[in-house]
Structure 1
Amino acid sequence: MSKCFPAAAALALAIGLSAGTAHGNEENVVSDPHQWLEGVEDAKALDWVKAQNAKAEAELASTPQFAQLEAELLAIYDSDDKIPGVYKQGEWYYNFWKDKQNPRGLWRRTTLEEYRKPRPQWEVLIDLDALNKAEGENWIWHGADCLRPDYRRCLVALSRGGADADVTREFDLENKSWVEGGFFREEAKGALSWIDADTVYVYSDFGPGSLTESGYPRVVKRWQRGTPLVSAVPVYEGKPDDMYIAAMHDHTPGFERDFVSRTLAFYNDELYLVAADGALTKIDAPNSANKGVHRQWLTLELREPWEVAGRTYPAGSLLASDFDAFMAGEREFQVLFEPTDTTSLAGSSWTRNHLVLNVLEDVKSKLWVLTPGADGWARRPLAGLPEFGTVSASAVDDEESDALWLTVTDYLTPTTLMLGDAAPDAPAPEVLKTMPTFFDASKHVVEQHFATSKDGTRVPYFLVRPKDAKPDGRNPTLLYGYGGFEISLTPGYSGGVGKGWLEKGGTYAVANIRGGGEYGPRWHQAALKANRHKAYEDFAAVAQDLIDRKITSPAHLGIRGGSNGGLLTGNMLVQYPELFGAVVIQVPLLDMQRYNKLLAGASWMAEYGDPDKPEEWAFIRTFSPYHLFDPEQKYPPTILLTSTRDDRVHPGHARKMMAKMLESGQDVRYYENIEGGHGGAADNRQAAHMDALYLTFLWQQLAGEPGAPAPAP
């Protein structure tokens, strides 16, 4: 199995300590009158939350139109006709599934022969709703790690209410039961990972001093079955200001290796090879490079230029080297990808004999197959795929075959799942599943445009508009963005946005602003720390371009973003209020003076900066919506959405901003889901309710109630 360390894990953290703040030694000086709202489970704070929720419900959720939309969204999210995504373990194909009858979900499996059928027969392994009922819990599925090669024993992670913190329990797939006296990890941020049938790596909360300042594991240990956790043998201990420490065993036959990953910050990590005697040898590659190991190969995806052995490789390149030769000191590389002004590497996936690259060119994807040989690496485009949409590829089983899962989608075309092959003589991909049509897309068209940002940078954005839309500035338009952590926004089918916005006649736009990964590391790095304002200037430029084209006007233009995207829309609210008629801010960062003291916030200082350093607070303050808020300014109508159980981005950000906006008489409403974690919702019903809230709010503000005339521009 190929290993890629540890950027994938770090990205997952992008996208706490269950209550309160992460720092116990923080000064007790409180100058913010709303800071009491940071008490996540504080009774007074929760009473305040419930009062705000009631007002939002009364305003938005009391109409027949809301009830209809919520029901339509729930029907989509619960649909039995959605594509059940699967992954292969041994001869079985596994899936986790939620629907109306199973709101918390089923972990189940089937055969490929069954999976090809319109209605496969599934073997249920864990019924999470039944487990919750039996145990009086509110478990949310966090995944299962099953031990190769027989895949009988699995380490199952379960979260209470959707928090990042979870427990790990051992499960027997043959008996379909929990292993009595098996491996068990108490609730914390961290994990267990298999070494062999009787040994695991454990990185978790071992007590005082064992967590980083970000609230993630600082210590990793080797734990033997049948022994108490306190006797687990330390493998590596990071520093308090590191971000995340983990370890893993590569089970690939003939290439078994152990690794420790030390993540210092986002896109700043060290990878160590663990010898049989426990000695650690650092992989001598740049900390900023994404390091992958697959069989005999080491791959390095560079995020900064690297000068080595008399040659400089540009940022965004993908290099390959023989792993053992590299560890022996050789520095010979094959360049597998090198970016241009319009291209970037969106991802890669190994099969048994090939490496498949997903390349974005102006945010449109193309797949290439690379094959190592005696004369270097041959390359060719992957044949048999449609010419439109976002295309992605992942290996079905990278040890046994060159089979690929292939998906194709765009904003108006339901996602299609195909089974293909990376071999040069492979037949055309086989269509396995197609998502049903959840909304009428016949009246819309997808376009790509480019806006010009304040500094002259060309910023792409996608536009989904009615074919007959008139350029009169009156089209209700929703603009979405994220712009952080090198995450790319590519076209994809959303039944919720389609049903709740497009089918009503709305226009939808997605901005590919700096801070994201659409043009590789340079696009991300252009908006870090003191340059954060460039992401916001890009988003404002896209909004202005929509207005200049008369697609819409400020009175009809709404925006939405969550997490880092909530920081984006929060800045749009306070810095560009004249551009928008409605603002949706979800699970946001807003108080950038205290973000590093709240839950996982300290892990994002490589992105935003350290507000405790005066020289950095000087620029962070310029994009802290909580501090830029002016009570004398009239802001556009706003809704803030968050979750009590979000232990990644603290709900205090949204709570305090709501309190400040209420004080100055702003047009604002607030809804906090009691469960849901950073995703905001713990099941489909909660997701449908929250989505119906923001969609109803936007339609009311930008187009009026269904059937009512649109407000004048």
Structure 2
Amino acid sequence: MMRSLASAAVLLAATGMTTAAMAQTTAPASASAPLANPPIPEGGFATSDATDPYLWLEEVDGARAMEWVKAHNERSLGILQGDPRYEPLHQQALAIVQSKDRIPAPGFNHDGTITNFWQDADHVRGVWRKTTLDSYRSETPQWETVLDFDALAASEGKNWVYKGASCLPPDERLCLVSLSDGGKDAVVVREFDSVSKTFVENGFSLPESKGGASWIDADTLLISRDFGPGTLTTSNYPMIVKRLTRGQTVDQAETVFTGQPSDVSVSGYALRDADGVIKATLINRAVNFYESETFRLNADGSTTKLELPAKSDINALVQGQLIVSMKQDWTAPSGQTFLTGDVIAWNLDAWLADSKTQAKLVIRPTERQAIEGLTATRNKLVVALFDNVRGGIEVYDPSDWSHSRMDLPRNVTVGVGSASETDDRLFVSVAGYLNPSSLYLADAATGAAAVVKSLPAKFDATGMQVDQFEARSADGTMIPYFVVHKSDIPMDGSNPTLLYGYGGFENSLLPGYSATVGKLWLERGGVYVVANTRGGGEFGPKWHDAALQENRHKAHEDFQAVALDLEARHITSQPKLGIMGGSQGGLFMGAMLTQRPDLINAAVIQVPLFDMLRFNKLLAGASWQGEYGNPDVPEERAWIQAYSPYQNLRAGMNYPEVFIHTSTKDDRVHPGHARKAAARLEELGYPVLFYENTDGGHAAGANLLETARRIALEYTYLTRRLMDQPAQQ
């Protein structure tokens, strides 16, 4: 749950796009070393609360702040929506996001039926529905509505956004439905009967809070919530796990675990086998964003800490084997040594009885490989293994851990989807930058896979190609990146080019199909570039760790190196180069803006982090100190202050007009970051477009109408900045 900063940002950009024919070449050395920001003097702008004139913009719903938002929205929307190109782009975006010929994302139920959450023009908030597998595989599935969220919102007068459901195995009749008011991370949880299709009268009902709720049995939950003063961590996540029995109020629930205020969060869940039988009840204590402790909740209410490395993930339980991935080098109690990136397995019962039980090494990726997905069917372990950002599916047999490759297209992005717990079937997605997504129904037992759904082309890819290049970063590391473009573009620096990056939290930017990027940018002659910088997970945990904390600057240098390489290859030039990123990627854009404004002429900065000297004091910010460091520690503050965009905005620079957008309802990355960035730029005399959606949460859109508007605003801005500008002579 806590590694979720990345998720909405990737959705925001709609970058997920691979191709079966990617050219790969090695880049020349970067043209120049990255420029460092000059030191900020003691007492400089926003280095303390006393020197930050815009703290009032952190009052999310403050009257003064909202008047400022209203004025900026009116100006920015007037400019962008007033552009004659906005409405055609808006209609194209709306048609794409509301289209009904998208692939419905399927989920296996234990009874073999398929569930799906669906949004379109008729279901803007969405509908939870189900059908049979045979019907799903047909051209016109017959869907049965389980819960209509548009109807629910209308009947209750609420701005409900669906945030998922957890159903009690094995029959999965009773479900915990999470509902967000306007898209916030905080949710209310209500018990729902999926057979009668009604909320359970006097059933489990949890008030709005961040946190989780997990089934133990039909009458018992483990809940981690805001239980009142002193029950949240400094990251504003739950610090306490309680056992709630049917009929009790939340206040009457029994405390089973209490973490520390300095923790990120705590949560509880049941580890079940394929038949839904609980094999262990576990408590996870996230000490920081990357380090955690796992405890077994014993029958007498006591807890036993499990012998696992601090940086590791429990991934699956298959045929009695517990699958764990290593995020650090580790010597187990058995004396065995494992390396960062390894996937290992224990016989669960034997290991719980004796922590010195020998583990089995299942996978050891190479330096240019990464595991991007891992799931279990009833009898098999299925792994999406990527080699140099190209994917394939490997199937492992727990009886001897032999493995074979699934019969799927090569040199593409693959994703493991929902897996059956009654047999070895699962869904696998396959996509390319220029190839519409396809969904396969695969059998892990035989390795066979057949297409069940294919997305029709949403843009004309005729005459387009995908290249994979590498740029040399400041320390000599080669950074891969993808370029999607029309084959006949002139190599004279005249091509409007959008460079996307993220660079954090081990989030990999994998190739995939994006209809909006294709229709609103590529079709119109734009070039689209995705940078696989350090900080991501494209080559496993080490690729991420290389840009952690004091090494954050390496990710910024990687992104700059890609921009320099694009210009060295004459794909684009400064007047034609724009950048885009959200959340952590918004911080990425801010670093590029303040360090190398000479390389760019546009920046779309989405729901960003920007004031890195106060990030840990705003909403969930303290949870990300494992990624960035703690600005309240002098040594760590020094490296953070060196790149924090808010403090490093300066007069006399050639900053382009930027487009910054955020959401009032974002309770993950505080909207104050974006507001203060815009205010400071304006104070220094720079043009800036700022837009704040009053709904939407961290995804910046509570429904499809808002999503289409955001996309159209972005591409109208990019058109004005990059397609209208003369090329560099």
TM-score bracket relative to the smaller structure: over 0.9
Structure-to-structure mapping, 1:296-315, within 5 angstroms: 296-308=320-332, 309-315=334-340
Equivalent residue number for residue 348 of structure 1: 374
Shift of 1:357: 1.6
Structure 1 residues 210 and 28 mapped into 2: Cα distance closer, same or farther (>3 Å)?
farther
Equivalent residue number for residue 42 of structure 2: none
1:465 & 1:139 partners in 2: Cα distance? Answer: 39
Shift of 1:272: 1.2
Structure-to-structure mapping, 1:78-227, within 5 angstroms: 78-89=98-109, 90-227=111-248
Shift of 1:158: 0.2
How high is the TM-score relative to the length of structure 1?
Answer: 0.94
Instruction: Work out which of the residue numbers 374, 377, 380 in structure 1 matches 2:401.
Output: 377
Structure 1 residues 104 and 150 mapped into 2: Cα distance closer, same or farther (>3 Å)?
same
Q: Deviations over 1:429-476 (max 9, x none)?
A: 221111121111112101100000000001000110110011100000
Equivalent residue number for residue 84 of structure 2: 64
Q: What runs of 5+ residues in structure 2 fail to find an aligned partner?
A: 8-46
The aligned amino acid for 2:207 is E
- Is the contact between residue 293 and residue 323 of structure 1 (CA under 8 Å) also seen in structure 2? no
Equivalent residue number for residue 619 of structure 1: 639
1:98 aligned counterpart, secondary structure: strand
Equivalent residue number for residue 14 of structure 2: none
Shift of 1:351: 1.2
Shift of 1:13: 4.8
Equivalent residue number for residue 429 of structure 2: 407
- Is the contact between residue 390 and residue 490 of structure 1 (CA under 8 Å) also seen in structure 2? yes
1:95 aligned counterpart, secondary structure: strand
Shift of 1:312: 2.8
Whether 1:11 aligns to 2:3 is yes
1:244 & 1:235 partners in 2: Cα distance? Answer: 15
1:362 & 1:342 partners in 2: Cα distance? Answer: 5
Instruction: Work out which of the residue numbers 357, 360, 370 in structure 2 matches 1:334.
Output: 360
2:48 & 2:630 partners in 1: Cα distance? Answer: 19
Equivalent residue number for residue 540 of structure 2: 520
Equivalent residue number for residue 659 of structure 1: 679
Equivalent residue number for residue 491 of structure 1: 511
1:440 aligned counterpart, secondary structure: coil
2:648 & 2:132 partners in 1: Cα distance? Answer: 56
Equivalent residue number for residue 551 of structure 2: 531
2:270 & 2:346 partners in 1: Cα distance? Answer: 21
2:416 & 2:195 partners in 1: Cα distance? Answer: 31
1:468 & 1:226 partners in 2: Cα distance? Answer: 69
1:693 aligned counterpart, secondary structure: helix
2:396 & 2:419 partners in 1: Cα distance? Answer: 17
- Is the contact between residue 575 and residue 726 of structure 2 (CA under 8 Å) also seen in structure 1? no
The aligned amino acid for 1:382 is M
1:152 & 1:264 partners in 2: Cα distance? Answer: 35
Structure-to-structure mapping, 1:554-703, within 5 angstroms: 554-703=574-723
Q: Deviations over 1:15-44 (max 9, x none)?
A: 4xxxxxxxxxxx995431111000100111
Structure 1 residues 13 and 630 mapped into 2: Cα distance closer, same or farther (>3 Å)?
closer
2:459 aligned counterpart, secondary structure: coil
Moved more, 143-152 or 331-340: 331-340
Equivalent residue number for residue 279 of structure 1: 302
1:97 & 1:292 partners in 2: Cα distance? Answer: 27
2:362 aligned counterpart, secondary structure: strand
Structure 1 residues 523 and 199 mapped into 2: Cα distance closer, same or farther (>3 Å)?
same
1:151 aligned counterpart, secondary structure: coil
1:73 aligned counterpart, secondary structure: helix
- Is the contact between residue 337 and residue 345 of structure 1 (CA under 8 Å) also seen in structure 2? no
1:478 & 1:237 partners in 2: Cα distance? Answer: 47
Whether 1:258 aligns to 2:281 is yes
- Is the contact between residue 703 and residue 711 of structure 1 (CA under 8 Å) also seen in structure 2? no
User: What percentage of aligned pairs have identical amino acids?
Assistant: 46
Instruction: Work out which of the residue numbers 536, 551, 572 in structure 2 matches 1:552.
Output: 572
1:423 & 1:409 partners in 2: Cα distance? Answer: 23
Shift of 1:329: 2.6
2:294 & 2:653 partners in 1: Cα distance? Answer: 50
1:544 aligned counterpart, secondary structure: helix
The aligned amino acid for 1:681 is G
1:527 & 1:388 partners in 2: Cα distance? Answer: 27
Shift of 1:179: 1.0
1:341 & 1:579 partners in 2: Cα distance? Answer: 31
- Is the contact between residue 34 and residue 659 of structure 1 (CA under 8 Å) also seen in structure 2? yes
2:120 aligned counterpart, secondary structure: coil
The aligned amino acid for 1:584 is V
Whether 1:367 aligns to 2:410 is no
Q: Deviations over 1:149-168 (max 9, x none)?
A: 22211110000000000100
1:711 & 1:703 partners in 2: Cα distance? Answer: 9
Instruction: Work out which of the residue numbers 45, 70, 89 in structure 1 matches 2:65.
Output: 45
Equivalent residue number for residue 10 of structure 2: none
Shift of 1:566: 0.3
Equivalent residue number for residue 6 of structure 1: none
1:602 & 1:29 partners in 2: Cα distance? Answer: 18
1:583 & 1:420 partners in 2: Cα distance? Answer: 41
1:270 aligned counterpart, secondary structure: strand
1:338 & 1:188 partners in 2: Cα distance? Answer: 39
Shift of 1:311: 4.1
1:546 & 1:476 partners in 2: Cα distance? Answer: 11
Q: Bigger relative contact order, structure 1 or 2, given CA contacts below 8 A and separation 6+? A: 2
- Is the contact between residue 321 and residue 333 of structure 1 (CA under 8 Å) also seen in structure 2? yes
Q: Deviations over 1:468-502 (max 9, x none)?
A: 01110000000001010001110011111111100
2:618 & 2:375 partners in 1: Cα distance? Answer: 36
Whether 1:421 aligns to 2:443 is yes
Shift of 1:12: 2.5
2:294 aligned counterpart, secondary structure: strand
Moved more, 298-307 or 526-535: 298-307
Q: Deviations over 1:340-363 (max 9, x none)?
A: 221122221111111112111111
Shift of 1:14: 4.8
Q: What runs of 5+ residues in structure 1 fail to find an aligned partner?
A: 1-8, 16-26
Size of the aligned set, in residue pairs, is 684
1:666 & 1:388 partners in 2: Cα distance? Answer: 44
1:410 & 1:422 partners in 2: Cα distance? Answer: 23
1:80 & 1:124 partners in 2: Cα distance? Answer: 16
- Is the contact between residue 346 and residue 358 of structure 1 (CA under 8 Å) also seen in structure 2? yes
Structure 1 residues 615 and 131 mapped into 2: Cα distance closer, same or farther (>3 Å)?
same
- Is the contact between residue 573 and residue 727 of structure 2 (CA under 8 Å) also seen in structure 1? no
- Is the contact between residue 5 and residue 583 of structure 2 (CA under 8 Å) also seen in structure 1? no
1:126 & 1:408 partners in 2: Cα distance? Answer: 29
1:123 & 1:572 partners in 2: Cα distance? Answer: 49
Structure 1 residues 177 and 337 mapped into 2: Cα distance closer, same or farther (>3 Å)?
same
1:446 & 1:198 partners in 2: Cα distance? Answer: 54
Equivalent residue number for residue 16 of structure 2: none
1:711 & 1:700 partners in 2: Cα distance? Answer: 13
2:278 & 2:217 partners in 1: Cα distance? Answer: 15
Structure 1 residues 207 and 310 mapped into 2: Cα distance closer, same or farther (>3 Å)?
closer
2:543 aligned counterpart, secondary structure: helix
1:417 & 1:293 partners in 2: Cα distance? Answer: 23
The aligned amino acid for 2:212 is A
